[in-house]
């Protein structure tokens, strides 16, 4: 083999090694949990139906600015069974729950690791939230809205 062929073979081997690493990285990335794609699309609701609504103020790109109607108990957390999927690193699997109760909404922390906050205050057990009440889980902030 000529010198020149040998010279190119050197790069061919390096290219081979890197192609391999590329294949391995692709396989690795494919196994990562991807954001987006909720388990099931939320049922479309009229945006102006009266009653309690839960609005996402900030923190989660996919949900930001959207609101969800609060008719019965809502579960917040990372687990698939939660109606409100909070994909924040500080959220627990079953983080908190919201129960509408006529004049207010009952917010209950379900023993989360990093806590549910009202401003700077940690929610211990449960608390009754009035209209316009704000709370946050990790970096996600929610607001309760009442539509007449």
List of residues contacting another protein (CB under 8 A)? 6-7, 9-14, 16-21, 23-25, 27-28, 31
- DSSP label at 65? T
What stretch of H or E contains 107? Answer: strand 104-109
Question: 13 or 128: whose CB is closer to another protein?
Answer: 13
Report how far residue 141's alpha carbon sits from residue 148's, in angstroms, rounded to the nearest whole number. Answer: 23
CB of 29 to another protein, least distance (A): 11
CB of 24 to another protein, least distance (A): 6
CB of 97 to another protein, least distance (A): 26
Question: 15 or 128: whose CB is closer to another protein?
Answer: 15
Report how far residue 109's alpha carbon sits from residue 13's, in angstroms, rounded to the nearest whole number. Answer: 57
CB of 12 to another protein, least distance (A): 7
Residues near 122 by beta carbon (within 8 Å), at least 6 away in sequence: 109, 115, 116
Question: 7 or 40: whose CB is closer to another protein?
Answer: 7
With H, G, I as helix, E, B as strand and everything else as coil, classify residue 134. Answer: strand
CB of 28 to another protein, least distance (A): 6
Question: 35 or 51: whose CB is closer to another protein?
Answer: 35
Question: 6 or 46: whose CB is closer to another protein?
Answer: 6
Report how far residue 41's alpha carbon sits from residue 142's, in angstroms, rounded to the nearest whole number. Answer: 20
- How far, in whole angstroms, is CA 86 from its chain's centroid? 3
């Amino acid at each position: 083999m000529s010198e020149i062929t040998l010279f190119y073979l050197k790069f061919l081997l390096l290219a081979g090694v890197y192609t391999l690493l590329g294949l391995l990285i692709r396989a690795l990335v494919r196994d990562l949990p991807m954001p987006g794609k909720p388990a099931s699309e939320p049922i479309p609701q009229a945006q102006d139906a009266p009653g309690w609504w839960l609005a996402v103020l900030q923190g989660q790109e996919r949900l930001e600015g959207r609101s969800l109607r609060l008719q019965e108990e809502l579960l917040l957390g990372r687990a698939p069974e939660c109606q409100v999927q909070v994909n924040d690193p500080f959220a627990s699997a079953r983080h908190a729950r919201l129960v509408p109760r006529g004049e207010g909404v009952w917010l209950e922390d379900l023993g989360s690791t990093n806590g549910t906050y009202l401003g700077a205050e940690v929610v211990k057990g449960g608390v009754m939230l009035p209209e316009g009440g704000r709370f946050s889980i990790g970096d996600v902030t929610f607001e309760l809205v009442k539509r007449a």
